[in-house]
Structure 1
Amino acid sequence: MTIDRAVLTMAGTVVLISVLLAALVSNWWLLLTVFVGLNLIQSAFTGFCPAALIFKKLGLKPGVAFG
């Protein structure tokens, strides 16, 4: 698995968990989805993603986006 795929997998998982928690617990959990979305947008423009740095330290191979 590359860093790119790991970041997308993690972001998708967090979004789905956030939506589930919003449906079952409180609508305030949707703020987590907003945070993930904003982070994805800023990383598209800046190339900086904290999750990518963590996955790189864990030894995942770089991909195209986070090389």
Structure 2
Amino acid sequence: MFMYPSFKKFAGIMAILIGLAIYALVVTRLIEAFFAEHIVLQLICYLIAGIVWIFPAYWVLKKTST
């Protein structure tokens, strides 16, 4: 039987999508503002930022799965 996802899961998915979009825009602007001329520092910052977003997303997924 097909069941519709609960509102809690829907809200969690929307929070992740909207939060990740805002996070990506802010991080991109900050990295470009501070390290516009340093490609290696940009790469390092993007790698760190790419890992950091996992922790809040995991927390949201954990809260919405129960």
TM-score, normalization by structure 1: 0.49
Q: Greater CA radius of gyration, 1 or 2? A: 2
User: Which structure carries more helix by proportion?
Assistant: 2
